[in-house]
Structures are given as C-alpha cells and as structure tokens.
Structure 1
Amino acid sequence: MTTRETIPVTILGGSLGAGKTTLLNHLLTNAAGRDIAVLVNDMGEVNVDAELVAAESELAVGGGVTELSNGCICCELQDDLETAVVRLAQERSFDHLVVEASGVSEPGPVARLFVTSRAAARYDIAGLVTVVDSRLFADTFAGGDPDQTVAEDSDGEVRPLSDLLVEQVESADLVVLNKCDLVSEEELAGVRDVVSALRPEADIVETTHSAVDIDTLLADLYDPDAPVGWRAALETEAAEEEEEEEEHGHGHAHNGEAHDHEHGHSDDGHGHDHAVVSHAEETYGITSFVYRRRAPLDPEGLESVLGDLPSSVIRSKGTVWVGGADDVQYTYSQAGPSAYLTASGPWIASLPEFEQDTYRRNHPEITWHDDYGDKRTELVFIGRDIDEDALVAALDEHVLGDAGDVAQRFPTEPGAEVALAEPEAGE
C-alpha cells in the first residue's frame, strides 16, 4: 500500500484592498494544467471574496472554492478551518491548496494550524505570501501620513493598521508589492527598503495588478526558521559580542556559563553592567541597533520615550525590565505609530531556585547574569536616519538603580497589555 503524498498549501494574506482576490483570480486563470483548490475567508456574513473568485474563475462556491465567513481563520474560525481543509483532502483530489485569509488575519496562526493540527498529516506549507498595497504601506511607514489608517480586528475592536501590516510582512516568504503604479520610484524604493528590513530573507515581487508568475507564487519557499528583522539584529549583536570577547580574551565562565561583558558606554553608576549599543551593518537603506541595560527603567520615563518615538523608527521590539514591577517581564512592540507594552510573565530569576535550575538546564542558550539572572532591558530599533545617540541618551535618563524605588505603573497579570501610543482613527 502506497502512502498518499501531502498536498502543498500556500497561504495568501494582506490588508483589505491590497489585491489578494485579484491575485487569486490571476492564479486560477493562468494555472493551466494545475488542479488548485481554494479556501477563502471573509469577516462578513456573506463571503464576498468567495463569490468574486468563483465568478471570475468559473469555479462554484462549494465546489472549487470553499468559504469560511463571519470570522477570522487566525482566531475564532481555526476549528472550522481545520475541519474544512481535512474534508477537502478527503473529498477531492487536487494538486495545491491556496488559502486566502481575510484582511485582518495574521499569517502565523494560520500556518501553525497546518503544522500542529490533524491537517498536518495531509498538507505541507509551500509558502506564506503577503500582498502589500504599496500606496498604503508608503503612507504608513515610508514618509507619508502614518496616522491615516486603522484596521478593525476580528473582535470588532479598532486596531492600528501598522501592527497588522508589520505582522503580515514579518511572516512572509514572498512579499508582493502591488499597486506600484500608485507610488513614485522613490516611494517604492522606500517601501522595498522597509519590507526588506522587516523580513530580510523574503523574496520580493513588484507588480501593478497582482500579476505574479504562477511558479513564483506557488514555489516551495516556506522557511519557519527565517528570522524577522528585529530578531536578526539581536542575533547579529550577539555574534559580534561573542567575536569581540574571543578576540580580546574577555570571555570567561561563571558557574559553568558564559558571563556577558557589555561594552559601549560607561558604567551607569548603579553597580550594573555597561550598556550594549550594537549597530547592524546598513542593509537595504535601513539601519538597526540594540540597546541593552542590566537595569530597570522608570515606568513613567519609559512610557514618555517609547510611547513617543521619532518617525524615523519604523519598528522596535524587545524586553523591558520595569521599575516597580521587579518580578515581571514586559514585552515591548512598536510598529509605526502604535506601541504596546505587555506583561509576559515572571522573570526566570524571580522563580524559586529549583525552578530556575530546571529552566536553565533545559534552556542552555539563555543569557544569565550572576547578579540579575535574565532580568534586562533589551530593545531593537529599526529605521532610517535614527538619531541613535539622542534615543540612547533619552532612555539612559530613566535607568534606575533599584526597581523598587518607584511605584508600580503597569498591570502585571500575564497577557495584560498597555497601549503606549496609538494612531488616530482614520477613514
């Protein structure tokens, strides 16, 4: 008995109006000799996109086109998506599945379903494709009006569009820069630079009416280990620091683990390590740097700085040690005009000693300080023409000597989120 081969699946994402449906119709019209199944997700009760795809491609809804309506497949419709794709594989024979996600879907959770659920037995991910409206992207990140747009999330709440655009690009194996005729060459170059900085290893295709080569669109591009820009900056910084220690003979071990010497600035006067401000090599016209302190930041001060970053900072992300909440690790995420701080749970150093030891044995890659454990402020900033010295100095003004010196300002329950900056609702 032969084992049935898995079916490749391409996940097609992008913001509302970016050109996903046009791209899908182009694919179905030109996919001669390929039997392609399509699943279309729409947030409304009536799946308009499914009807448009069926009409353009002469495939019937319920036949060649499967619809999931009135919800988002990255969250509340995940069970429905799993059931639909498994049933498709059972009932039909086809060469490739294309899932068109709604304009508010995040690609990551959709992709994970094909890896971790029972659908994984029948499908392999070929690639995550994000269609970008070049005009909208330029207005949001590349020098236009960053506050003009917001997106409605799956639960009906208004969400900054910049967040969604960044998440969709950072997950992509292939980015289709669509509507290039609506931007100047200079604007298009800016969009390309930002996309490349957010997802350095993604393939980029430029087009005007979602006309993309079929082989390119359906190619086997999926790489779950490809780094996003901010993580690549951290890895570059870590590699450079390790190389510097080896060259100067500074690396040594404490309790069997490497102790990190942090260089770049003078001691902060509170008995903490020196800071690391590491600069990634300029790539695609965008620079990045890493700011690190083995010390907490004053909560009011960090809110004033991280909640009001200059427009030159396109993306920043990282971990923050917040004064007044010594045991809680916070995650910071900024995309364009929006910025959030989220309580992620306790620092490992705040756990009982036996739990610390167990965790460290299971995670030997963790950077551990003799005095502070894993507690740190470590932020990556990506942008164009950032005044790094000014930003570092602004953050340094709020470095504390003792996390308990100030009152608790932010919620500490895991998952609790605080908006430090939000764009105004646009049209």
Structure 2
Amino acid sequence: MTENDRVPLTLISGLSPGPALRLADLLHHADRATAVVHYDLRQVERGIVHRRLRLGPRDQLTALELGHGCVSCTLREDLLPLLRRLSGMPQVRRIAVHLDEAMEPEPVCWALEHVLVGDRPVSTDVEIDAVVTVLDRTTWLDDATGDDTLADRGLRASPDDERTLAQVALSQVEFADVLVLAGAAPDAWHAARTGAVLDRVAPTAALVELTGLDPAGLRAAVPAGARRGTLVDPHGPLLAGQPPLHADCGIAVLTFTERRPFHPERLHDALDVLLDGVVRTRGRAWVASRPDTALWLESAGGGLGIGNAGPWLDSPGGPAWEDVSPERRALASLRWDPVFGDRAQELVVVTHQAAPAEIEAALRGALLTDAELAEGRTAWRAYPDPFGEWHTEPCEDTEDRQHPGVSVNQGRDERP
C-alpha cells in the first residue's frame, strides 16, 4: 500500500452521546462504503467493551473481553487491528470511528503512529482526514468548568480513571479540527460564554452546526492548515492560531513567562490557584530541584495533571538541535540565556471566575528569590521535592509519549 492508497479516517469524540451518535449515523447513511465503528466502555471495569461495526447493510455488535479493563487495551487489542482489516477491504472507502465519551482523540492518534500491529503502525493503512468533536451547547460549558469526575457520571474508562469531565471536554475540543455544535444554550449569556471559551482554547478549529450538516460539508469545513491528528510538541508554542487575548464575558487569558526557576515546595502550594475558577492551564515549568527536566502542567475543572515533558535543549543528554522541530528551535533561539539556556516558565491560563492578577501573583511568589537564585544549582537540587516520581500507566504501549510521563488517563490531582 502506498501513501496515496491509505483509507481516510475520521475520528469523532464528544461527551454528549446523542449528538455524536447522530453525526455517526449521518456518515453511515450518506455513504454505504463508509465503515462506522463505535466503542462503548460502560463495562470496561469488568474487562468488557462493546464494539458496534456498521458497513453497508451490516450492523454488528460485539462484546470484547480484554486482558485489562482500560482504554489502552481497547486500542491495542481491537481498534488498531480492526482498522487494518477494514482498510484492506475493497468495499471500504472511508472509516469513521465514534469514540466512547471517555476517550480522547490524541492518544488514539499517537497509537496509530507508534504502536506496531505486526511489523508496522496502522498509519501506513489509514490517514486521518479529520478529528471532529461534537459538543452540546446545553451542557458543554458546565462540564468544561465543573468539578465532576468521569466516575461521578459513570463514564470512567478504567478502574483507576480519576479524570474530571472538564479534562476530557477540554482535551477533546483542543485537539479537534472541526467542532460540531448541537443543542441550544440555556440563554444568550451562556451561549456567549461558551463561544468565548471555545475561541480561546480551540481558535484553529472550524465551527459548524450539526443540523443540516452532510459529509461533504463536514469535509469542506476542515481548515486548510488543520493538524489532522498531528501530535503536539510539549516544547512547542502553547497558543495555537491567534486566540483573542482580551477578556470577554468574564473569560480571560493569562500568559505567564519568567526566566528563573520555581521553588518546588512553593510551586506545589501555589498550584491550587489553577484549580478554582480556571477553565484550562497548559504549559511548561522549570523547577529548581530538577533543573534538567521540564514539568508539563495541565489543569481543568479541579483536575490537575503533572508530568515529565523531557529534557531542555541545554540539559546534559538533551536532544540535538537538528532533532527537534523548527518551532522549538525558534523558541529556544529567541529566549536563549547564556547561563540557563532554553529553560523558562511558560504557562497559559484561561480563567472564567478566577482573577488573573491573583494567579500571576501566586505563581510569581513561587519563583526563587534573588538570594535563592544566588545559591546555585547544587543547592537547588537539595530542595525538598514534593512532586515525586512520574506516574505511568500499566499498559505502556499506548502511553501518551508526546508528553512523556503524562499517562493517557490523567488523574484528578496527580500530586502526591
């Protein structure tokens, strides 16, 4: 199979099962040569996943018994081999995968590129033509700013899945090429706030209405520069596209940058400001006690993920300049320090109730003082470090390696 022979694949995600199913139905009925696959993880803790496959007149429901009750096993043991089989069937011209509400598209895209099925990844058989997230304006904003966990809604994707709805809602939206809007907001204010959040967390995604949509219109809506499943460099730009930076309907964006490290204990204490009244936090942190490794921070709706984003370019054993993306090289060149190299604090915080000034003050208070900065790296390494060891999932084959150390299923608060 050549590059041009790959079968187009559309990924559909979303927390609201009804609207997402409507889109999947639309793709199935409009083109009988489109294979539509849906995964239901409601019994995954018992090691059972239900998979529905529709192709032409065929409508098959299969109960899968997995070795482990988790999303990683579902991907590795069933979805990837299934995509290979479907791509080899002459009657299949397109494939659409309707993900369970608890599944995020980014780890699926990672698995397509990096997990071997036989002797090669499935990306040699299929190519992602669009990542689509369906959201219901009636409920999405409350889910994206609330504290409910997936477990609270009976949606968790493994026995130890402690993610919040907000973490999943934001991840699904941020990675999408197209946002398909369904339902109606309770009032004009709610609608305006939803729009303000989407403008700031997913500025590059096209917005289309589910009502009246057809497959050709969906494909035409995919922006020319869409990522189409391309993974994000954790050391790349944090602001995609050109999101508005001014406040709107109480939604504001804080960009925090600084050229000195955080004190580990003061940063640990300050992280609570990223959990209350904050829609989303994403970015890199430089912690004095571990000067050669960047921390990756994400928060949403009372949930916090902390992981290892890999070494700085200036770190011993760090990647060579020619081995990293042009975007990372450009960022490093612009901020390079003769002593600390490319190390820096870079966080983007989208707020809806919290005061950005208070968040900035808390983060700034966690930085090393002038006296601590003068102590030097030997003293910094001896600082008590409350962040502990990196968390990893049991099923390492599908770990989210573009953010090394951040597992596919991030916890509600992964601080020890």
Common fold by TM > 0.5 = yes
- Alignment map for 1:93-172 (pairs within 5 Å): 93-115=91-113, 118-141=121-144, 146-151=146-151, 152-157=155-160, 158-172=162-176
Higher mean C-alpha displacement, 67-76 vs 20-29: 67-76
- Provide the rounded CA distance (Å) in 2 between the counterparts of 1:420 and 1:293: 27
- Provide the rounded CA distance (Å) in 1 between the counterparts of 2:125 and 2:309: 34
Task: Provide the residue aligned with 1:203 in structure 2.
Answer: 206
Q: In structure 1, the residue corresponding to 2:58 is in which secondary structure?
A: coil
Q: In structure 2, the residue corresponding to 1:411 is in which secondary structure?
A: coil
Task: Provide the residue aligned with 2:396 in structure 1.
Answer: none
Instruction: Pick the aligned partner of 2:38 from 31, 37, 40.
Output: 40
Aligned residues of 2:14 and 2:169 also touching (Cα < 8 A): yes
Task: Provide the residue aligned with 1:300 in structure 2.
Answer: 265
Structure 1 residue 118, shift from structure 2 partner: 4.3
Aligned residues of 1:39 and 1:67 also touching (Cα < 8 A): no
- Provide the rounded CA distance (Å) in 2 between the counterparts of 1:119 and 1:17: 27
Task: Provide the residue aligned with 1:265 in structure 2.
Answer: none
Deviation track 1:266-288 (CA, whole Å, cap 9, x = no partner) reads: xxxxxxxxxxxxx9643876442
Deviation track 1:74-97 (CA, whole Å, cap 9, x = no partner) reads: 654234222212212323413321
Task: Provide the residue aligned with 1:378 in structure 2.
Answer: 346
Structure 1 residue 134, shift from structure 2 partner: 2.5
Q: Evaluate the alpha carbon distance shift between residue 28 and residue 185 of structure 1 in structure 2; reply closer, same or farther with a 3 A threshold.
A: farther
TM-score, scaled relative to structure 1: 0.71
- Provide the rounded CA distance (Å) in 1 between the counterparts of 2:37 and 2:188: 35
Identity of aligned residues (%): 25
Aligned residues of 2:147 and 2:166 also touching (Cα < 8 A): no
Aligned residues of 1:293 and 1:378 also touching (Cα < 8 A): yes
Asked whether 1:415 is paired with 2:405, we answer yes
Q: In structure 2, the residue corresponding to 1:165 is in which secondary structure?
A: helix
Letter in structure 2 aligned against 1:407? P
Letter in structure 2 aligned against 1:216? G
Structure 1 residue 404, shift from structure 2 partner: 4.6
Task: Provide the residue aligned with 2:300 in structure 1.
Answer: 335
- Provide the rounded CA distance (Å) in 2 between the counterparts of 1:186 and 1:307: 28
Deviation track 1:106-133 (CA, whole Å, cap 9, x = no partner) reads: 1123234555654334322221111123
Tell me the matched-pair count: 362
Give the unaligned 5+ runs of structure 1: 238-278, 423-427
Instruction: Pick the aligned partner of 1:82 from 77, 80, 83.
Output: 80
Structure 1 residue 331, shift from structure 2 partner: 1.2
Aligned residues of 2:253 and 2:349 also touching (Cα < 8 A): yes
- Provide the rounded CA distance (Å) in 2 between the counterparts of 1:396 and 1:193: 27
Aligned residues of 2:130 and 2:222 also touching (Cα < 8 A): yes
- Provide the rounded CA distance (Å) in 2 between the counterparts of 1:232 and 1:5: 33
Deviation track 1:204-230 (CA, whole Å, cap 9, x = no partner) reads: 1244xx7633322344727228898x9
Aligned residues of 1:305 and 1:395 also touching (Cα < 8 A): yes
Structure 1 residue 66, shift from structure 2 partner: 7.9
Higher mean C-alpha displacement, 405-414 vs 190-199: 405-414
- Provide the rounded CA distance (Å) in 2 between the counterparts of 1:235 and 1:38: 30
Aligned residues of 1:128 and 1:174 also touching (Cα < 8 A): yes
Letter in structure 2 aligned against 1:99? V
Task: Provide the residue aligned with 2:280 in structure 1.
Answer: 315
Aligned residues of 2:308 and 2:406 also touching (Cα < 8 A): yes
Deviation track 1:48-77 (CA, whole Å, cap 9, x = no partner) reads: 672xx86xx983334xx8886766666542
Deviation track 1:361-416 (CA, whole Å, cap 9, x = no partner) reads: 54443343111123222211123476333322222222213435732222145727
Aligned residues of 2:48 and 2:64 also touching (Cα < 8 A): no
- Provide the rounded CA distance (Å) in 1 between the counterparts of 2:63 and 2:135: 23
- Provide the rounded CA distance (Å) in 2 between the counterparts of 1:124 and 1:411: 39
Aligned residues of 2:284 and 2:296 also touching (Cα < 8 A): yes
Q: Evaluate the alpha carbon distance shift between residue 202 and residue 139 of structure 1 in structure 2; reply closer, same or farther with a 3 A threshold.
A: same
Deviation track 1:286-329 (CA, whole Å, cap 9, x = no partner) reads: 44232122222223322232223374431111111224333442
Give the unaligned 5+ runs of structure 2: 115-119, 374-379, 391-403
Aligned residues of 1:41 and 1:68 also touching (Cα < 8 A): no
Aligned residues of 1:297 and 1:398 also touching (Cα < 8 A): yes
Deviation track 1:326-378 (CA, whole Å, cap 9, x = no partner) reads: 34421111112212222344444441xxx45x624544433431111232222
Task: Provide the residue aligned with 2:359 in structure 1.
Answer: 391
- Provide the rounded CA distance (Å) in 1 between the counterparts of 2:412 and 2:33: 48
Letter in structure 2 aligned against 1:150? L
Q: Evaluate the alpha carbon distance shift between residue 341 and residue 161 of structure 1 in structure 2; reply closer, same or farther with a 3 A threshold.
A: same
Aligned residues of 2:163 and 2:411 also touching (Cα < 8 A): no
- Provide the rounded CA distance (Å) in 2 between the counterparts of 1:129 and 1:236: 18
Structure 1 residue 4, shift from structure 2 partner: 7.6
Aligned residues of 1:233 and 1:288 also touching (Cα < 8 A): no
Q: In structure 2, the residue corresponding to 1:205 is in which secondary structure?
A: strand
Structure 1 residue 174, shift from structure 2 partner: 1.1
Asked whether 1:359 is paired with 2:349, we answer no
